[in-house]
Structure 1
């Protein structure tokens, strides 16, 4: 894959173009310049490279790099409602919770998936209350402190 492939796709469709696998701000910027409407911050579960940088730590720089010109979604590390709150606070517009969904599906089918979503919602609500957040759209970076690496 290279940016010419993204250009080729952009020329052939008016559908929204979402580029997944963004790990550094420079690639986020390039994705926007090549016509992406959204980027997905993802290290593909960390399986592609041993010791891959956690997506939550990459998120703020990538949000800054796209500068509101594209949505930023986070894929990876979402296990609890508090993880959702952190991602939204750092600028993600959406989060992917694939692994949790798979676990729910394997254990309980459709009901298991619903239960996973219910648990995330039940955890997100008190997390917002503890942060004095009454509207999820009001979550911002002032609420989040990331470890320094």
Structure 2
């Protein structure tokens, strides 16, 4: 069984970027930051672990606040398009991870499919930024957003 001590041990032995995925609680994010990780990945692993796990976006703001810029905060879960990226940035994420959409594109079209999917995502993000009045992704942090209906 892994423990926080194992994470600290690993951090002491490597300088490669160290990310911890599966963070859904601000206290765990703080422990990871205390252990010296480069980033925490807010993720419910696609909701497959527990039926009642919270949506990743719903805990993102409290994780961002808890780590207080001691490490990057990335969102992984439910990112399907440019508006999802914009929403994650508005909620405080430093970036997002893509899973299923990129895998689907790769499976359907190989390298060209993956490149097309990334180009489409970039175009959607540009459009979302323009429509929200943001000149660049960093300015999305000043936006207000709601989670859920």
Q: TM-score range by the shorter chain?
A: over 0.9
Partner of 2:34: 33
| C-alpha displacement of 1:141 | 4.7
Q: TM-score scaled by structure 1?
A: 0.93
Separation in 2 of the partners of 1:62 and 1:107?
35
Partner of 2:77: 76
Segments of 5+ residues of structure 2 without an aligned counterpart are none
Q: TM-score scaled by structure 2?
A: 0.93
Q: Is the 8 A contact 1:43 1:52 kept in 2?
A: yes
Q: Does 1:105 align with 2:106?
A: yes
Q: For 1:1-149, list aligned pairs within 5 A.
A: 1-147=2-148
User: Could you say what secondary structure the match of 1:78 adopts?
Assistant: coil
Name segments (4+ residues, structure 1) moved above 4 Å: none
| C-alpha displacement of 1:13 | 1.2
Segments of 5+ residues of structure 1 without an aligned counterpart are none
More deviation in 84-93 or 133-142?
133-142
